[in-house]
Amino acid sequence: MALWPYAEKGHTILRFFTPFSRPSLVRLSQTCDGDIVLVSAVCRNILTGGGNRLLVSNERLHGQFDRLRSEVEFRYCLAIPFLLLVWTVTLRVSWGGYLEELALTVAVLIDLALLLQARILSKWSFYLHAHAVADGAVSTPALDEARMHHDRRSERDEAPEVPASLEGYLSDDN
């Protein structure tokens, strides 16, 4: 899939940093009939939309999405202050060289765990939203615009019906 090339199977580490999972990109591509430009626009809508349309269309789904996003923000907000707190305490209290290094090492490991959990939960939230779009439970502005243009195009392609009162005037005999 050319949209996020690192979502492919071969890029294990880089796949971790993509906002969407490979199955959600495949499903979005199927929903958008393989139009990469539309898939890209839908993905941007999902990333920047914040789930506002989920609240209107499916309250339960929005509750799950909002809980995941709140967990992500909570973990991001804890990581740096926790590291600074441990660093400040180790500077103020003289425990000896090894205990200070151990405390900082444990703090860094806890921070990495918090950031890893935040990244995983962030990906889950976008995964949830992308599958909701693919299932048709919610739409995005890009999909609405594409459907509107498709409906207009199909209306223009259909031949207009001629009223019976005008058939005589439009015949080739006159």
Q: Residue 64: name the closest of 132, 115, 116 by CA.
A: 132
pTM score, whole prediction: 0.69
Q: What is the pLDDT of residue 5?
A: 47
Distance CA 170, CA 174 (A): 8
**pLDDT over threshold 70, residue 158:** no
Weakest mean pLDDT among 9-23, 88-102, 112-126, 133-147: 9-23
Residue pair 2/25 in contact by the 8 Å Cβ criterion: no
Distance CA 99, CA 76 (A): 26
Q: What is the pLDDT of residue 95?
A: 72
